[in-house]
Structure 1
Amino acid sequence: MHVMQYEITLPADYDMKIVRERVATRGHLLDTFPGLGLKAYLMRERGAGSPVNSYAPFYLWATPEGMNSFLWGPGFQGVVDDFGRPRVRHWVGLAHTEGPASAATPTTATVRRTPVPHGVEPARFVADAAAEEAAPGAVASAAGIDPSRWELVRFTLWEGPAPADGGDRYEVLHLSAPGRAGLRAGRHW
């Protein structure tokens, strides 16, 4: 599994209806994308619990071929054409779990980034992060690590309002999840 996100910060006066329309008309295009486990189309609005307007899709890739096909293909080129080339963050996948609310449609998401503390055995930290169970209200959760920055990322989809202490909070506009059935069955992508 590969974890990926890019966040496009938009001007304070940007009409976020444009992002909503973009996702409403194009989001379905990745609903069956080969190699994709899950893509959450995330957005946050300034003044609605966020300091900025942003569009910040989050991906769980089942295969590097799927990720590469997207990044070097027309899907990502559309993002570049419309918003400029964003910085794409990438983490090695550690774990993915279905949460207690796995049957629900997610409405919010959190992305929490945590530095691996100095003096902590990396293998123990990673094992603890991979073993963390999903909280009540979680639809699904995933963890990844960037060993170049020693940063853990935890991504969680929620059936209702995201907890305030869960990291950056987003609204989920659409979920493309062609690989999620395998996740529910306990198989790895």
Structure 2
Amino acid sequence: MHAMQYEITLPAGYDMGIIRRRVATKGNLLDKFPGLGLKAYLIRERADGSEVNQYAPFYLWAAARGMNSFLWGPGFQGIVNDFGRPEVQHWTGLAYEEGPASGSVPMSATRSRSRVEGDGSPTGTVERALDAHRELADREGVVAAAVAIDPRHWELLHFTLWADEPPRADGDRFQVLHVSAPHRGELPRGRYW
């Protein structure tokens, strides 16, 4: 599994209805995309208390080939044409779980990122992250949860889809406008080694 996200931060007065219409008309284009585990079309709005207006799609790829096909194909080119080329963040998967609400349509998402501190072995930090991931994935309202790591910057990522509003949590909160999940069933459950 590969996790990927890009963030398009928009002006404070930006009409977020433009993004909502974009997702409503184009979101289904990836509903059958090869190799895509899931794509959550996420937004944050200043009107809802966020510090920024932002469109920030989040992807879990079942296969690197699908991710590459998207990045070098017409899908990502549409983003580049409309907003410029964003920085694409990428993490390698550590674990994925379906939650108790896995049959629900997610309404919100949370994302938290933290640094793996120190210069020594990251094993202990990763094991604690996996333990926290398992606990989180079992919480009421969780649709799906993933934990991943960027070993270049030693950053851990926890991403969770919620059936409704998430409980108060650290990290960033997003509204989910649509989910494309053609190969969600191919995302292996549990730890990835």
Q: Quick check: TM above 0.5?
A: yes
1:29-108 equivalences in 2 (<5 Å):
29-108=29-108
SS in structure 1 of the partner of residue 46 of structure 2: coil
Displacement of 1:81: 0.5
Displacement of 1:126: 1.6
Q: Percent identity?
A: 61
**2:173 corresponds to 1:161:** no
Instruction: Return structure 1 stretches of 4+ with deviation > 6 angstroms.
Output: none
Q: Is the 8 A contact 1:101 1:159 kept in 2?
A: yes
Q: Is the 8 A contact 2:35 2:61 kept in 1?
A: yes
Displacement of 1:118: 1.8
TM-score between the two structures when normalised by the length of structure 1 = 0.93
Gaps of 5+ in 1: none
Q: Is the 8 A contact 1:102 1:138 kept in 2?
A: yes
CA-to-aligned-CA distance 1:123-157 (integer Å, 9 cap, x gap): 22223323422122111000110111110001000
Q: Is the 8 A contact 1:182 1:188 kept in 2?
A: no
Q: Which residue of 1 aligns with 2:140?
A: 136
Displacement of 1:186: 4.6
Q: Which residue of 2 aligns with 1:110?
A: 110
Q: Is the 8 A contact 1:139 1:159 kept in 2?
A: yes
Q: Is the 8 A contact 2:96 2:189 kept in 1?
A: no
1:2-21 equivalences in 2 (<5 Å):
2-21=2-21
* Number of equivalences: 188
SS in structure 2 of the partner of residue 47 of structure 1: helix
Displacement of 1:188: 9.4
TM-score between the two structures when normalised by the length of structure 2 = 0.91
Comparing 126-135 with 4-13, which one deviates more in the overlay? 126-135
Q: Which residue of 2 aligns with 1:177?
A: 181
CA-to-aligned-CA distance 1:28-82 (integer Å, 9 cap, x gap): 0101100110100000111302011000000001111100000000000000000
SS in structure 1 of the partner of residue 128 of structure 2: helix
Question: In structure 1, how many angstroms separate the alpha carbons of the residues matched to 2:112 and 2:55?
Answer: 16
Q: Is the 8 A contact 1:62 1:179 kept in 2?
A: yes
